[in-house]
Structure 1
Amino acid sequence: MRYFLAFIALVATPALADRIKDLGTFQGIRENQLTGYGLVVGLAGTGDDSLDYATQAMRGVVSRFGLTLPAGVNPALKNAAAVLVTAELPPFAKPGQRLDITVSALGKAKSLRGGTLIMLPLRGADGEIYAMAQGNLAVGGLGIEAADGSKLTVNVPSAGRIPGGATIERTVESGFATAPGLQFDLSEADLTTAQRVADVINLRLGGSRAHAIDGVSIAIDAPMGATARAALMSTIENIDVKPADAPARVIVNARTGTVVINGAVRISPAAVSHGKLTVRVDEDPRVIQPAPFSQGQTAIQQSSTIAVEETRNPMFKLAPGASLSDIVAAVNKIGASPADLVAILEALKQAGAMKAELIVL
C-alpha cells in the first residue's frame, strides 16, 4: 500500500495587527439555534409512504382546517414527508426579518425535490416560538430509481434549503444594554493576547476601563443604555492590536496525509539517522509434468525468492535553536519521504529535542 503525504511549511513572518472584532466577540452577542418539526407535501411519490411520524403530522395539518381523518385510517403518504427544520437566529434580529432555513427528511423519504413546506413554528432552546417557516424547497440533490432496482443518487436529495423561508416573530434579549459592564471573549485562549487587548483599549479610551480577567475574557466598564454602549462597542471593535505569537505546533492529518509545521517550532541540538528496510517476496510457481506412461499426475512446484534491501541515509545534525527552514533543508537533504518526516518528528518529540506540540488528527 502506497502512502501519500503532503508537507506544508508555514514560514515565520512578523505578526501583523488585527482588529479586535476579528479576535472574538462580545458576550451575549451571538446566534441562537432554532428547530421545528413539520411536513413537506407535493412530492412526486418520493415521500414517507406510511411512516407514523408523517401520518401524525398530516393529522395535525388537516386539523387546522377543521378536518379530521377517520379513526384507524393510516393513509399512504407517498407525496408527503416528515421533516426537521433548522435555522440560525442572528443577534439583534427583529420581528419581520427573514431567515434562511434547512429542511431535512426525518424518515425514509427518497427525495424532497419539488416539495412545499407547510407552515410550522421554529422554537429556541427555551421552548419559545421565535419564527414561523413555510415555502418551496430548493434541493440540490437528485435521486433516480429504475424498474429493475438500479439506483443513481447525486448529492443528497433528502435535504434542501428555503432562502428567506422563515419570518422572525420575536427578538432574543441579549442583555448587553443593562448588564453591569461589557465583556469581550477571545476565540482562542491566550493570556498575552488578552492583556494586549486590554492595554490597547485603555490606551484608546483612556484610564483603566478594561482589564483581562483570564486568558479569554476582558471586562470593560461601560455606561448604561443601548445607544452609548453600541457606540462604545463599535469603537472597540475597530481598534488594532498585535496578537501574541501562536504556540509552536506540528499538525499531522493521518487521513489526508498533510503535515503542517508553524514558524514557532524550534529544535534543540539533535542528531538524526533514518533508514528504510524493504522486504520483497517473489512467487514463481512452476508446473511439473510426469514422464510419459508413468501414470504420474501434473503438479505445481512452489518457488519463492525473498530479498531484503536496506537503504542507509547519512546522519544529520540539527544545531541549537534550529528553525523551520533548517528542519526542511535537513529532511530534503537525506531524501526522506513525507511518511519518514512524520516518524522523524515523532522521534524528536519523544527525545525532548522538539519544542512544539505534536497533534495527530
Structure 2
Amino acid sequence: MLKRLFAALLIFAAPAQAERVKDLGTFQGLRANQLVGYGIVVGLAGTGDDSLDYATQGMKGVTSRFGLTLPAGVNPALKNAAAVMVTAELPAFAKPGQRMDVTVSALGKAKSLRGGTLILAPLRGADNEIYAMAQGSLAVGGLGVEAADGSKVSVNVPSAGRIPGGATVERAVDAGFATSPTLAFNLSEADLTTAQRVAEVINRNLGAIARATDAVTIAIDAPVGAEVRTALMSRIENLTVSPADAPARVIVNARTGTVVVNGAVRIGPAAVSHGKLTVAVQEEPRVIQPAPFSRGQTALEQSSDIEVIEQQAPMFEISGGASLSDIVKAVNAIGAAPSDLVAILEALKQAGALKAELVVL
C-alpha cells in the first residue's frame, strides 16, 4: 500500500558554540539609510509611457535645465521615455564621492526599460535632503515582446532594472556614535542570557565597561572620540561568546508538510490514537428507454453508491522526556498525512504534553 509522502526536516540543536560578537548584532546607529527619487529613463525602443502626465512633466523639467521651454499645451509623445522611481541604500559611513548601486522601477505603463538611460536624478532621504545623485545605463534582466496580433511573451520583469554603481554619494550621514554618552550594542534576537554573556565577555577582556540594560541592548562606557571608539568597537566585534540555547520551538508548514524541530523540544507522557475516515461516492447513471410505440420519453435514472470506510489504528504511548523525533517516527510508522501530523502536534500542545512553542505557518 502506497503511503502518502511528506517531508519532515529535523534540526537538533548541538551544544552552543562560541560565536563572534559581530555575528550576534550591531552597534546602534551603524545602519543603512533608504533613499528614493523620481526620474526619467530615455532611449527606449517605443516601450515607454507614451502620454503619461508624469513622464511629460518630468521631461519638461529635464529640458528646462538646458534653457529649452516647451510651448504651453504641448505634450510630446514619449514612447521612448518613461517615468521611474529610483531607490537605493546609503551604507553606514558612506562618504561623498563613493558610488552605490540603484534600482530603477517603472512608475506608469512602460512595457520595458531595456536599453534605457536614467537622466540625472536626485535621491532623497526621510528628511527630504539630497544625499546622492543617480544616472547611467540600465541593466535589465527581463524581456517583453508583443506581436501585431496581440500575443505577448514576457520573461522575468522587464519594467525594472539596476544600475551598478549608478549613484554618487553627495552627503555623509552622521551616525552619532562618536559623541553619544555610551555605545549601545543591540542583539539581533532578544535573549536575556545572551545579553548578559556578551556583557561579561566584554568586561572580562576590556575591563568593567559593559552592562546589559535589557534583553537586546548592552550599554558600553567609552571615551568620546571617533578614533578611540572605532578601535574599541573593532575589539568588541571580534570577541567570542557562547550564546544561550534557543527556546524550544516547533515550526510546522501545513501546506508542504515540513516540520522543523530544535533539540530543546521535549514530550511529556501521552497516549495518541490516530485513524482515518474515508467516504466514497460512486455515481452510475442509467438510461431508461420507453416501450416500443409508446408515448414515453428516454430518461436518465440516477444511481448512487455511498461507502464509508474507517481505518482503525492502535493507540501508541509516548514516554516522558521523549524527543519530538520519537513522535515523528511513530507518526511515520502509522502513515499519517501532513495535515494529520499537524493535528497530532496541536492536540499534544493543548494536552500540555508538548513542551515547546508550536508555530504553524
Give TM class, smaller chain.
over 0.9
For the residue of structure 2 that corresponds to 1:320, the secondary structure is coil
Q: Distance in 2 between matches of 1:255 and 1:339?
A: 8
The offset of 1:123, in angstroms, is 0.7
* Structure 1 residue 298 corresponds to structure 2 residue 298: yes
TM-score (norm 1): 0.96
Trace 1:237-248 onto structure 2 (pairs within 5 A). Answer: 237-248=237-248
Q: Distance in 2 between matches of 1:15 and 1:103?
A: 43
* Structure 1 residue 174 corresponds to structure 2 residue 138: no
Q: Distance in 1 between matches of 2:76 and 2:334?
A: 72
- Are the counterparts in 2 of residues 5 and 259 from structure 1 also a CA contact under 8 Å? no
Comparing 18-27 and 259-268, the one that deviates more? 259-268
The offset of 1:56, in angstroms, is 0.9
User: Residues 228-270 of structure 1: CA distance to partner in whole angstroms, max 9, x if unpaired?
Assistant: 1111111111111111111111112344442222221111111
Q: Distance in 2 between matches of 1:257 and 1:151?
A: 37
The offset of 1:324, in angstroms, is 2.5
Trace 1:46-57 onto structure 2 (pairs within 5 A). Answer: 46-57=47-58
* Structure 1 residue 146 corresponds to structure 2 residue 147: yes
- Are the counterparts in 2 of residues 11 and 324 from structure 1 also a CA contact under 8 Å? no
Partner AA of 2:199 in structure 1:
A
- Are the counterparts in 1 of residues 254 and 342 from structure 2 also a CA contact under 8 Å? no
Q: Distance in 2 between matches of 1:96 and 1:12?
A: 46
Partner AA of 2:176 in structure 1:
G
For the residue of structure 2 that corresponds to 1:343, the secondary structure is helix
After superposition, the Cα gap between the structure-2 partners of 1:105 and 1:254, relative to the gap in structure 1 and judged at 3 Å, is: farther
Could you tell me which residue of structure 2 aligns to residue 43 of structure 1?
44
Q: Distance in 2 between matches of 1:305 and 1:154?
A: 49
TM-score (norm 2): 0.96
The offset of 1:183, in angstroms, is 0.6
Trace 1:122-201 onto structure 2 (pairs within 5 A). Answer: 122-201=123-202
Q: Distance in 1 between matches of 2:255 and 2:91?
A: 35
- Are the counterparts in 1 of residues 146 and 152 from structure 2 also a CA contact under 8 Å? yes
Partner AA of 1:201 in structure 2:
I
The offset of 1:328, in angstroms, is 2.1
Partner AA of 2:309 in structure 1:
E
For the residue of structure 1 that corresponds to 2:190, the secondary structure is coil
Q: Distance in 2 between matches of 1:301 and 1:29?
A: 77
Could you tell me which residue of structure 2 aligns to residue 6 of structure 1?
7
The offset of 1:87, in angstroms, is 0.3
Trace 1:156-305 onto structure 2 (pairs within 5 A). Answer: 156-206=157-207, 208-305=208-305
Partner AA of 1:41 in structure 2:
V
For the residue of structure 1 that corresponds to 2:201, the secondary structure is helix
User: Residues 190-244 of structure 1: CA distance to partner in whole angstroms, max 9, x if unpaired?
Assistant: 10110011111111112x2111000000001112211111111111111111111
* Structure 1 residue 74 corresponds to structure 2 residue 75: yes
* Structure 1 residue 334 corresponds to structure 2 residue 334: yes
Q: Distance in 1 between matches of 2:310 and 2:17?
A: 48
Q: Distance in 1 between matches of 2:285 and 2:261?
A: 49
Q: Distance in 1 between matches of 2:5 and 2:160?
A: 34
Q: Distance in 1 between matches of 2:260 and 2:275?
A: 23
Structure 1 gaps, min length 5: none
Q: Distance in 1 between matches of 2:100 and 2:185?
A: 27
For the residue of structure 2 that corresponds to 1:6, the secondary structure is coil
- Are the counterparts in 1 of residues 5 and 337 from structure 2 also a CA contact under 8 Å? no
The offset of 1:329, in angstroms, is 2.3
Q: Distance in 2 between matches of 1:305 and 1:322?
A: 46
For the residue of structure 1 that corresponds to 2:8, the secondary structure is strand
Q: Distance in 1 between matches of 2:239 and 2:324?
A: 32
The aligned length equals 358
- Are the counterparts in 2 of residues 4 and 257 from structure 1 also a CA contact under 8 Å? no
The offset of 1:6, in angstroms, is 2.6
- Are the counterparts in 1 of residues 7 and 257 from structure 2 also a CA contact under 8 Å? yes
Percent identical across equivalent pairs? 78
- Are the counterparts in 1 of residues 178 and 226 from structure 2 also a CA contact under 8 Å? yes
Q: Distance in 1 between matches of 2:148 and 2:172?
A: 51
- Are the counterparts in 2 of residues 47 and 108 from structure 1 also a CA contact under 8 Å? yes
Structure 2 gaps, min length 5: none
After superposition, the Cα gap between the structure-2 partners of 1:4 and 1:43, relative to the gap in structure 1 and judged at 3 Å, is: farther
After superposition, the Cα gap between the structure-2 partners of 1:110 and 1:255, relative to the gap in structure 1 and judged at 3 Å, is: farther
User: Residues 321-345 of structure 1: CA distance to partner in whole angstroms, max 9, x if unpaired?
Assistant: 2212222222223222222111100
